[in-house]
Amino acid sequence: MNIEFADVTVKKGDVTVLRDISIRLSERRIGVIGRNGSGKSTFARLFNGIEVPASGAVLLDGVPERKNLRRHVGFVFQNPDNQIVYPIVEEDLAFGLKNLKLPKAEIEERIGHAMRSLGLDHLRTRLTHQLSGGEKQMIALVGALVMHPRMIVFDEPTTLLDLWNKQKFMETINALPQHVVVVSHDLDLLRGFDRIVHIEAGRIVADGDPAKVLDNYIASSQC
């Protein structure tokens, strides 16, 4: 699949957060880096229409339609509590599917398959507020997977996790068949990716080979 940003500018009030972004992305594993306030999270939220450009367009396989993005691109937030809203896990996972007006049997099948594939079926009837941080982040991922997206975007998905859960979650991400975009400050997590995009002050300042982009970013941060 191909995501293209065509001269995209995003404004919040009088502040320009992203300016004249033009880029085409087709790799399966893409990392996004940049300092706090650089605009990288806003960039990530453009992928599935959470953010809307003030000008320019975001196209999926050449189609500039927000509904098209929402249908095919899932999103996992930094804090899973921003994504999990229902008190019981399976109720929360069913919410988006019910909005699609899918048959009950298909809803059950999608939830069951996604939970089993990640070894989480034992959490299906658990109360969401009793889940650990790692479990919540995995359930947030399942919430994206049940919608059958072609791409999943993760915004700082490991920030709130301890080392063990961070490694487990990244192993899960790396095993996903979908195209993946990960925004992260944890550079080591991105070294095995296919492409890295570096954003600063609302512009793309580097893009390409992970080793080169990451090493240059580290060097510039030490100056």
Helix (H) or strand (E) holding 56: strand 55-60
Q: Which CATH superfamily is domain 3-83+132-221 in?
A: P-loop containing nucleotide triphosphate hydrolases (3.40.50.300)
Residue 78 per-residue DSSP state = S
| Distances from the Cα of 150 to the Cα of 60, 73, 179, 223, angstroms | 11, 6, 6, 39
pLDDT in tens, the chain (223 residues): 899 999 999 999 999 999 999 999 999 999 999 999 999 999 999 999 999 999 999 999 998 878 888 889 999 999 999 999 999 999 999 999 999 999 999 999 999 999 999 999 999 999 999 999 999 999 999 999 999 999 999 999 998 899 999 999 999 999 999 999 999 999 988 989 999 999 999 999 999 999 999 999 998 887 6
Q: What is the pTM of this model?
A: 0.93
Domain residue extents for the chain: 3-83+132-221
3-state SS string for 157-201? CCCCCCHHHHHHHHHHHHHCCCEEEEECCCHHHHCCCCEEEEEEC
Tell me the angle at which helices 133-145 and 89-99 cross, rounded to the nearest 10 degrees: 20
